[in-house]
Amino acid sequence: MANKIQEKLDIFSRTKMNRRHFLKTTSAAGAATLASTGSYQVLKDVALEQPKAYGAELERFETFRSSCAMECLHCNLTAFVRDGKVVKVEASEDFNVKGCLRGMSRSQWVNHEQRLKKPMLRKGKKGSGEFKEISWDEALDLIIEKINETKKKLGNKGLLLENASGNMDAIKNSMAGAFFDYIGGATKPAGSLCCSAVAAAMNPMVGFRYVDTRDTIRDSKYIICWGNNPAVTMQAYFKEYEEAMRNGARLIVIDPRFNETAARAHEWIPINPSTDTALALGMLNIIIKEDLIDRPFLVEHTGAVYLVDEKGELVRENPEDPDSYLVYDLNKKSLVRHDTQGIQVALSAEEAELPNGYRTVFDLIKEQAVEWTPEKTEAETDVPKGTIIRLAREYALSKPSMIIQNMSGAQRTEYGTYVAASQFYLAIVTGNIGKAGTGVCDAGGVTQFVKINPPVVAPELKEELPKIPISKLGESIVNSNPTEIGFWWIMTTSPMTQVPNTNMVRKALEKVPFVVVADNLMTSTALYADLILPVTTIFEDTSLMAGVRSHYIQLMEQAVEPPGEAKPDYWIFAQLANRLGFGEAFDKPIEEHIKACLEGIGVTLEQLRKGPVKPVATPSIPFKDGEFRTTTKKAHLFVEDWKLKNYSPIVTYIQADEFAKNKTSKLVEKYPLMAIQYKMPRSIHSSFSTLPWINEVHQSEPETLIHPNDAKKRGIKDGQKVVVFNDRGEHHVKAVITPHIKEGVVALQNGWWEQQGGSSSHVTNDKVEALGSGQSCNNTLVDIRKED
Ligand SMILES: Nc1nc2c(c(=O)[nH]1)N[C@H]1C(S)=C(S)[C@@H](COP(=O)(O)OP(=O)(O)OC[C@H]3O[C@@H](n4cnc5c(=O)[nH]c(N)nc54)[C@H](O)[C@@H]3O)O[C@H]1N2
Ligand SMILES: Nc1nc2c(c(=O)[nH]1)N[C@H]1C(S)=C(S)[C@@H](COP(=O)(O)OP(=O)(O)OC[C@H]3O[C@@H](n4cnc5c(=O)[nH]c(N)nc54)[C@H](O)[C@@H]3O)O[C@H]1N2
Ligand code: SF4
Ligand SMILES: [Mo]
């Protein structure tokens, strides 16, 4: 492995050195000569890619590299700096994927006219946007005063730390958590707005989260993009899907919306929102009935064979040993531990008479699937029964087949954990996992291969502090349930646009006596701050990227000085720690923090200075040869965690409350349309949303997709301003009438600022996802009317 890393490093260092050297010393004509010598191949590409605007002038610019750090693909970007200013950002030519327009627009983010430059204290009413500038000393003293005041009045649980995906480097969010732990802890959100349903499925089933299959997409013969849109949301990897199709793969998209991926796929299967588990069980019904299962895989590598007693509990040899599951040996006709050598194991009670009325986990799965006949599945999902049968057969037989999960929209539903888990059922039951071209593609990054340490190790907390389910953040704070919040620290997230039920979030921001927002622009959330802290963007501080979206570890180099007095979040925590007497853990040169993160993984800061490092051999095949990351190394299909929460330990379909076919829901009559969410090419959530190039190239106001029949019923014309509404609020948009959305469904866009017309979160469901505490935004009932 060390050799491989070295090889990679050599390539990176060569290209980087060449580039800088080239840029500083040679002309384009000279480059053409060098290119013809072969080893300078990269230079030829660079010469061809020279931006016209700067032409030969670029030669004199210094270059710095960083990682595009919000929750996207963490592309490596190169900044060109002239006179202390980032004048251009390019995709780094030697990186595995290429950045997009958003990444290129980062020069406009760095140089944005409205960058926050000084700490600012609220002057007017919350939300009015009236602030006065104060010094950092005043701001830091005030923070300490408010922390102490809150702790005295409400205890540590009165402090709330909220951070998310705005910057996923290895330092900033981690250090925030450590800082609050140093002062005794803070209340934190439970679950995530993104994909905690995936975690609640994967961790107990396969033993690990954030495991992607992107290295072997091109080897697949059958790819199902299930509730996601990689042509937009994994844009830089879409070349892999295209390569697979060139190699003869079929690409299928299951989505209520004809999305950009569907436009390039072989088949679009429109489905009712949140009925994906029903579809998966309908497919399992066919797969089991037609014996398309991979029996040897199930027996050898999974807990499908574990025995379950009459009370529905897993049977163990020793109750003290969690891994001592019992199975039935067909040879000896007796119960034995699942890991006994030389046994022939029963997969189902149909294969032998099992004692004590025991059944296997597989029997329980069958019991769920048998109910989902093609007819019943069609009635719930609106997917025609012929399509369901064909989909099941094609998926099971066109091996290798892959499901793209990618933190999908389908799992941002009331029972999203079952959606994610049902996709693993399909992969495991058909043996489509652990081989090239198979598996269920989650988001994934370098942390699946190496353990990155936190920069500051936090002390153990003396008391357990409450957690607020992130979907109910607004309501929980407004109702002081489970606890009253007196101080709220918001960084790397914008709850006014991203957390469900915006009106509740606004009320919460108005209620909490002291709200700190650390950001670099006056976001919809910053407007509601008591104290705004101006922070750096990438290229303005040094940091480390080693996360869950890229297989590479990347040094994020500082290219320029930040504007005004903007500071990195880690500087802020170091200053606060100094004031509180534990500065030695925090106030260190950033290089030392980076070294601490890297300790023990065999990659050094010096290596990273030469370019990104991928500390693993390519291609990565998750759960290779059926070796899962659970303690038994087997995939577990019966999840005791779910049972502890009073839900079925076997994947089951539960109809959502906010679902148009739910006959018991009182909301259906009032709000007959099902609203779903989608991510746009113009932004990553609310990030990039206000950059001039983005608004020029993409649309600059929110839209909603509505089916012609639904529009006609309401007298709505294409392009008309409409209001999407329910009891939670209103979302003002332009109507786009199109058959590219299922009738009865409207598609709302994610990420618009209040200043741009408002977020779709004004209407989204704030129900907490049942098993993973995720969010249910794709189970939202609404109606639409013309704007007055
Ligand atoms: N351009 C861009 N790229 C991004 C992001 C971004 O904001 N912008 N965000 C990043 C992040 S954090 C994430 S989590 C990923 C998400 O990546 P994706 O999951 O690909 O992104 P979404 O747009 O949320 O995709 C959801 C799709 O699910 C559909 N959908 C909604 N509800 C349902 C349902 O109940 N069932 C089914 N089958 N489909 C449904 C929507 O129509 C939409 O097309 O993208 C990442 N990449
Ligand atoms: N309605 C609706 N809501 C959704 C979704 C949806 O599809 N529809 N999708 C959900 C998903 S999948 C996700 S992942 C979440 C994402 O939601 P968030 O994590 O809130 O992501 P952003 O909206 O991009 O907000 C990130 C903020 O961090 C700031 N930031 C950037 N760098 C730094 C930094 O170094 N320090 C500090 N302090 N701040 C920084 C940015 O300027 C920006 O304001 O949204 C969720 N919410
Ligand atoms: S926005 Fe996403 S795809 Fe674009 S450069 Fe950044 S990480 Fe890459
Ligand atoms: Mo996300």
What is the rounded average pLDDT for all residues in the chain?
93
List the single range of 291-295, 338-342, 614-618, 752-756 with lowest mean pLDDT. 614-618
Q: Three-state SS for 404?
A: strand
Q: Span 370-375, mean pLDDT?
A: 98
Q: Span 117-122, mean pLDDT?
A: 98
Q: Is the peptide bond before 374 cis (omega within 30 degrees of 0)?
A: no
Query: CA nearest 454: which of 86, 176, 60?
Result: 176
Q: Is the confidence at residue 59, as pLDDT, over 90?
A: no
**pLDDT at res. 58:** 74
Determine the residue type at 247: N
Q: How many domains is the chain partitioned into structurally?
A: 4
DSSP per-residue letters across 358-402: -EEHHHHHHHHHHH--HHHHHHHH---HHHHHHHHHHHHHSSSEE
Atom 13 of ligand 2: nearest residue by CA position = 194
- Cα(535) to centroid(ligand 3), Å: 20
155 lies in the same domain as 223: no
Contact residues for 157 (Cβ-Cβ < 8 A; gap 6+): 185, 186, 187, 465, 466, 483
312 lies in the same domain as 407: yes
Nearest ligand to the CA of 168 is 2
Q: Is the dihedral of CA 60, 65, 69, 73 positive or negative?
A: positive
Write out 301-347 in H/E/C secondary structure.
HEHHHCEECCCCCECECCCCCCCCEEEEECCCCEEEECCCCCCCECC
Encoding tokens for residue 58?
């670029």
What whole-number distance in Å separates Cα of residue 160 and Cα of residue 153? 14
Q: Which residues pair with 775 in a beta bridge?
A: 768
- Cα(80) to centroid(ligand 3), Å: 17
Do residues 261 and 234 touch, judged by C-beta distance below 8 A? no
Q: What share of the chain is helix, strand, coil (3-state, %, to 5)?
A: 35, 20, 45
- DSSP annotation of 188: E
- Binding site membership of 411 for ligand 1 (Cβ less than 6 Å): no
Do residues 120 and 637 touch, judged by C-beta distance below 8 A? no
CB within 6 Å of ligand 2 — which residues? 70-71, 164-167, 172, 193-194, 491-494, 497-498, 518-521, 523, 535, 569, 677, 679, 684-687, 750, 760-761, 764, 777
Cα 30 from chain centroid? Answer: 44
Q: Is the confidence at residue 401, as pLDDT, over 80?
A: yes
List the single range of 17-21, 286-290, 705-709 with lowest mean pLDDT. 17-21
Q: Which residues pair with 531 in a beta bridge?
A: 121, 516
Query: CA nearest 402: which of 529, 241, 538, 264?
Result: 241
Among residues 71, 87, 110, the one where a domain terminates is: 110
218 lies in the same domain as 182: no
- Binding site membership of 228 for ligand 1 (Cβ less than 6 Å): yes
- Cα(685) to centroid(ligand 2), Å: 6
266 lies in the same domain as 317: yes
Ligand 2 closest atom vs CA 494: 20
Q: Is the dihedral of CA 248, 254, 256, 260 positive or negative?
A: negative
Q: Count CB atoms within 10 A of the CB of residue 533.
A: 27
Contact residues for 62 (Cβ-Cβ < 8 A; gap 6+): 20, 80, 81, 82, 559
Contact residues for 29 (Cβ-Cβ < 8 A; gap 6+): none
Atom 38 of ligand 1: nearest residue by CA position = 227
Q: Is residue 644 part of a domain?
A: no
CB within 6 Å of ligand 3 — which residues? 68, 72-75, 99-100, 102-103, 235-236, 684
Ligand 2 closest atom vs CA 538: 35
Do residues 373 and 362 touch, judged by C-beta distance below 8 A? no
Nearest ligand to the CA of 683 is 1
Ligand 2 closest atom vs CA 760: 1
- Cα(260) to centroid(ligand 3), Å: 17
Encoding tokens for residue 568?
């990195």
Q: Is the confidence at residue 476, as pLDDT, over 50?
A: yes
Q: Three-state SS for 711?
A: helix
**pLDDT at res. 55:** 64
Hey, which of 162, 519, 536, 731 would you mutate to test ligand 2's pocket, going by the most ligand atoms within 8 Å of its Cβ? Answer: 519
Name the helix (H) or strand (E) containing 147: helix 136-154
Q: Span 159-172, mean pLDDT?
A: 98
Q: Span 376-405, mean pLDDT?
A: 98
Atom 25 of ligand 1: nearest residue by CA position = 228
Q: Model confidence over 250-297: pLDDT tens digits?
A: 999 999 999 999 999 999 999 999 999 999 999 999 999 999 999 999
Do residues 712 and 697 touch, judged by C-beta distance below 8 A? no
Confidence of residue 32 (pLDDT cuts 50, 70, 90): very low
Hey, which of 74, 653, 679 would you mutate to test ligand 1's pocket, going by the most ligand atoms within 8 Å of its Cβ? Answer: 679
What whole-number distance in Å separates Cα of residue 371 and Cα of residue 650? 14
- Binding site membership of 485 for ligand 1 (Cβ less than 6 Å): no
Q: Is residue 547 part of a domain?
A: no
Q: Residue 70: give the domain boundaries.
A: 2-110
Do residues 193 and 164 touch, judged by C-beta distance below 8 A? yes
What whole-number distance in Å separates Cα of residue 617 and Cα of residue 599? 20
Q: Is the confidence at residue 349, as pLDDT, over 80?
A: yes
Q: Model confidence over 373-382: pLDDT tens digits?
A: 999 999 999 9
Atom 36 of ligand 1: nearest residue by CA position = 410
Q: Which residues pair with 326 in a beta bridge?
A: 337
Q: Is residue 558 part of a domain?
A: no
173 lies in the same domain as 299: no
Nearest ligand to the CA of 382 is 1
Contact residues for 705 (Cβ-Cβ < 8 A; gap 6+): 257, 736, 738, 740, 741, 746, 747
Burial of 462 (0-12, 13-18, 19+ CB in 10 A): exposed
Among residues 69, 87, 110, the one where a domain terminates is: 110
- Binding site membership of 274 for ligand 1 (Cβ less than 6 Å): yes
Q: Is residue 649 part of a domain?
A: no
240 lies in the same domain as 283: yes
Q: Is the confidence at residue 25, as pLDDT, over 90?
A: no
- Binding site membership of 229 for ligand 1 (Cβ less than 6 Å): yes
**pLDDT at res. 618:** 86
Atom 8 of ligand 1: nearest residue by CA position = 684
490 lies in the same domain as 572: yes
156 lies in the same domain as 49: no
Q: Span 450-457, mean pLDDT?
A: 98
Q: Three-state SS for 784?
A: strand
Nearest ligand to the CA of 176 is 2
Nearest ligand to the CA of 412 is 1
Nearest ligand to the CA of 753 is 2
Atom 2 of ligand 3: nearest residue by CA position = 72
Confidence of residue 18 (pLDDT cuts 50, 70, 90): very low
Nearest ligand to the CA of 67 is 3
pTM of the predicted protein model: 0.93
Ligand 3 closest atom vs CA 73: 7
- Cα(548) to centroid(ligand 3), Å: 14
Hey, which of 685, 756, 782 would you mutate to test ligand 2's pocket, going by the most ligand atoms within 8 Å of its Cβ? Answer: 685
- Binding site membership of 778 for ligand 1 (Cβ less than 6 Å): yes
Atom 19 of ligand 1: nearest residue by CA position = 408
- Cα(412) to centroid(ligand 4), Å: 10
Contact residues for 40 (Cβ-Cβ < 8 A; gap 6+): 18, 31, 34
Q: Is residue 681 part of a domain?
A: yes
Q: Span 54-71, mean pLDDT?
A: 86
Alpha helices in 184-254 (DSSP H): 196-206, 230-233, 238-246
Atom 30 of ligand 1: nearest residue by CA position = 409
Confidence of residue 146 (pLDDT cuts 50, 70, 90): very high
- Cα(774) to centroid(ligand 1), Å: 14
413 lies in the same domain as 304: yes
What CATH number is attached to the domain comprising 257?
A: 3.40.228.10
205 lies in the same domain as 181: no
- Cα(103) to centroid(ligand 3), Å: 5
Q: Count CB atoms within 10 A of the CB of residue 322.
A: 12
What CATH number is attached to the domain comprising 458?
A: 3.40.50.740
Q: Is the confidence at residue 580, as pLDDT, over 50?
A: yes
Q: Is residue 686 part of a domain?
A: yes
- DSSP annotation of 57: G
What CATH number is attached to the domain comprising 707?
A: 2.40.40.20
Q: Is the confidence at residue 6, as pLDDT, over 70?
A: no
Alpha helices in 256-312 (DSSP H): 276-289, 295-301
Q: Is residue 181 part of a domain?
A: yes
- Cα(48) to centroid(ligand 3), Å: 22
- Cα(92) to centroid(ligand 4), Å: 24
Contact residues for 88 (Cβ-Cβ < 8 A; gap 6+): 51, 53, 54, 58, 61, 79, 80, 107
What whole-number distance in Å separates Cα of residue 468 and Cα of residue 447? 27
What whole-number distance in Å separates Cα of residue 528 and Cα of residue 522? 10
Q: Model confidence over 201-241: pLDDT tens digits?
A: 999 999 999 999 999 999 999 999 999 999 999 999 999 99
Q: Is residue 645 part of a domain?
A: no
**pLDDT at res. 617:** 84
337 lies in the same domain as 427: yes
Q: Model confidence over 495-520: pLDDT tens digits?
A: 999 999 999 999 999 999 999 999 99
Atom 45 of ligand 1: nearest residue by CA position = 233
- Binding site membership of 747 for ligand 1 (Cβ less than 6 Å): yes
**pLDDT at res. 566:** 98
Q: Is the confidence at residue 362, as pLDDT, over 70?
A: yes
Ligand 3 closest atom vs CA 684: 1
53 lies in the same domain as 71: yes
Q: Span 78-95, mean pLDDT?
A: 94
| Beta strand pairing call for 531-534 and 120-122 | antiparallel
Confidence of residue 56 (pLDDT cuts 50, 70, 90): low
- Cα(408) to centroid(ligand 1), Å: 5
Among residues 62, 82, 110, the one where a domain terminates is: 110
Encoding tokens for residue 737?
């009438």
Query: CA nearest 447: which of 194, 209, 176?
Result: 209
